[in-house]
Chain A
């Protein structure tokens, strides 16, 4: 699910996901509070990584400084 609008705004789900990643999480840990098909979560996480809001290290996703700034 595309989670960043063409004018750079985060969807509600993306915003909630960034807040949830204040502490680094794995995909498995993300699945519980975000009950969506895995392919959707992978796509969303990739989009947020490409936008520089989160960092993927191994199997863990964490918020970048840019991501922290985005959610204020």
Chain B
């Protein structure tokens, strides 16, 4: 029987403190703790000067101003040198007219990639997959998205995810499938029978049944 080798890296857990690191980036040496007080999208891409990654970098750059309005920053990562990153972002600006304004980690020793489980050996042992980690302003890991090498990520969904998480934090609510800002939100399910009975009588709450109640945010 073929031996199954376990990958050496682990995948972090939602709701836990995000693994701390210090890394060389295109914006100098940065620590995760430098982002305290700000939301952060830490994302990896397979390699510089590759087509899907280039389209993604343009996409991330386009949503960066919207993210910053939500107190959210971006930081990329791949297993390339900082010189390669600099050459690539300069090339994107020269050839495509898009300035990359966020830092990119040069993770040549795979230190951060291992901490966050970004390398999927079944896909590639030398490249990071298309991972997205949403870290909140208290440095708690709030969401993870993993895409394969072949498939570019959806920037609208990344924006929507941040909007949904921040709406949850601000209002103590959940968000339904395909939720968009302005849509009704879900009131967390009642924990007791009494709460359930009161819930269905609450004005301005639309209840399909006691466990599925929505309301508009004012």
Q: Which residues of A contact B (CB under 8 A)?
A: 1-3, 37-40, 42-44, 46-47
Contacts and interface: CB of A to CB of B under 8 A. Distances in A.
A47 B28 CA distance: 9
Given A37-B38, A37-B73, A39-B35, A3 B30 contact: no
Judged by DSSP, the binding face of A is: helix
Given A43-B28, A46-B34, 5 more contacts: A2-B29, A38-B35, A39-B35, A40-B28, A40-B34
B75 to A, nearest CB: 9
Interface string B15-27: 0000000000001
8 contacts: A2-B27, A2-B28, A38-B35, A38-B37, A38-B38, A39-B35, A43-B30, A46-B31
B28 A42 contact: no
Nearest to A39: B34
A69 to B, nearest CB: 23
A43 B37 contact: no
A40 B33 CA distance: 11
Nearest to B101: A37
Contacts of B37: 38
A39 B29 contact: no
A28 to B, nearest CB: 11
Contact of B38 (A2, A39, A43, A47): A39
Given A37-B73, A39-B73, A1 B28 contact: yes
Contacts of A3: 28
Contacts of B34: 38-40, 42-43, 46
A43 B29 contact: yes
A37 B73 CA distance: 9
